[in-house]
Amino acid sequence: MTTRLEKAKALLKEGNYKIIDDNTIQVKDYKVSLNSCTCIDHRIRKLNCKHILMFQLLKQEQLQSVNYMKLDDPIQFEHKYGIRTLAYLKSVGDVFEIHNQLKWT
Ligand SMILES: [Zn+2]
């Protein structure tokens, strides 16, 4: 038997959802927030359905992805560790540059 959480993870992986705003997404024909959903499962049982769980998982992922370490400006980093190190870190996606600051993902 597949648990609701496993179904939610599978849904997230499929990526068949549309972000409407910070608090709302659309999964198939359902409008989903962090505590409500228009699907029958949620309306009847009043519990978190797989769509709500999926949205919660998505939110967790988003929080983790902004959890970066701030560094000095790229020029200083380059002087210290070399342009190759910087280029390598960027190529593997560990670091990206924005507004003249390096962010670690
Ligand atoms: Zn639902």
Q: Is residue 35 very low, low, confident or very high in pLDDT (cuts 50, 70, 90)? A: very high
Higher pLDDT, 66 or 4: 4
Taking the centre of ligand 1 as the mean of its atom positions, its distance from the CA of residue 25, in whole angstroms, is 11
Taking the centre of ligand 1 as the mean of its atom positions, its distance from the CA of residue 66, in whole angstroms, is 27
- Residue 52, C-beta contacts closer than 8 angstroms, at least 6 positions apart: 32, 33, 34, 35, 36, 37, 42
Taking the centre of ligand 1 as the mean of its atom positions, its distance from the CA of residue 53, in whole angstroms, is 9
Taking the centre of ligand 1 as the mean of its atom positions, its distance from the CA of residue 32, in whole angstroms, is 7
Query: Where does residue 82 fall: left (phi above 0), alpha (psi -120 to 50 degrees), or beta otherwise?
Result: left
Residue 56 has pLDDT above 90, yes or no: yes
Q: Is residue 55 very low, low, confident or very high in pLDDT (cuts 50, 70, 90)? A: very high
Judge if pTM exceeds 0.75: no
pLDDT at 68: 52
Taking the centre of ligand 1 as the mean of its atom positions, its distance from the CA of residue 41, in whole angstroms, is 6
Distance CA 39, CA 60 (A): 22
